[in-house]
Amino acid sequence: MKYPYIIIDDDHESVLKMQSAFDSFSNYFLLGTADNYDDAVNLVLEHNPKLIVLEIDPVNKESRLSLALINELHRFVKNMPRIIVLTKGKELAYEALKNEVFDYLLKPINIHELRKTIMKFERNVEDTPTTICIKSYGDYRFVDTDDIVYLQADNNSTDLYINNGDTITAFKTLKHFENTLPPQFVRIHNSYIINMSYVSRIHLGNNVVYIKNSKIQLPFSKSYKKNVDLIISLIANNDGKEL
């Protein structure tokens, strides 16, 4: 599984060091960085990462980076990302843990400590069930998320297309699934979310994504072009292996 993360830090050199450390772990990809409070909130709300690395003792106090950012996110985000706090001293780390952050790391970054944090994060994430329940008038369908090829919006319901050819209708919006499905599910259109594992081809000129072992072509819109570029980057960086 691929895990998207963002870095929130006003120290450019520190950001580069953190990104370099994460590069040692091939199943993590950087969605973006922010160096101030407002940009950080917008970045999280836009990309819905699974993991946030947050500096709470910034070089520039005008950046307003602090634990207060976590409280702000709680106002808008239903499923909060795991937050790893960066600090220069254990005093702030203690304050961070009282705010129920996932973990903390002391600067300068130690790759061995980061590895421990990542292992704990993945164990925590893997404890989350990969089977979802679709209820329809007393009929309960249990679906493994790995079997979902793509999802299509249909007014206030969503059709799930399964790799065995079945189609299941869920009385939930596409936005609901965008916020709850694992990271390999990416929204490419107002009407479509696709499982990256089933992408065989992307044609930028025609604005379509092709599904493996089928003739299905799904359109993507310009407003989600950034997500399509992300899919291309991830598949290319993974040497064509299944995500």
**So what's the pLDDT on residue 178?**
87
Rounded to whole angstroms, how far apart are CA atoms 168 and 113?
44
pTM: 0.64
Q: pLDDT tens track of the chain, all 243 residues?
A: 678 899 999 999 999 999 999 999 988 888 889 999 999 999 998 887 889 999 999 999 999 999 999 989 988 887 789 999 988 877 787 788 777 899 999 888 899 999 999 999 988 876 555 788 998 778 899 999 999 999 999 988 999 999 999 999 999 999 989 888 887 899 999 999 999 999 999 999 999 999 999 999 999 999 999 889 888 877 775 544 444
Contacts of residue 118, defined as CB under 8 A and 6 or more positions apart, other chains included, come to 25, 28
CA–CA distance, 176 with 76 (Å, rounded to integer): 14
Name the 3-class secondary structure at 160: strand
What's the pLDDT at 243? 46
Contact 134, 145 (CB under 8 A): no
What confidence score (pLDDT) does residue 234 get? 73
Q: What is the pLDDT of residue 242?
A: 45
231, amino acid identity: I
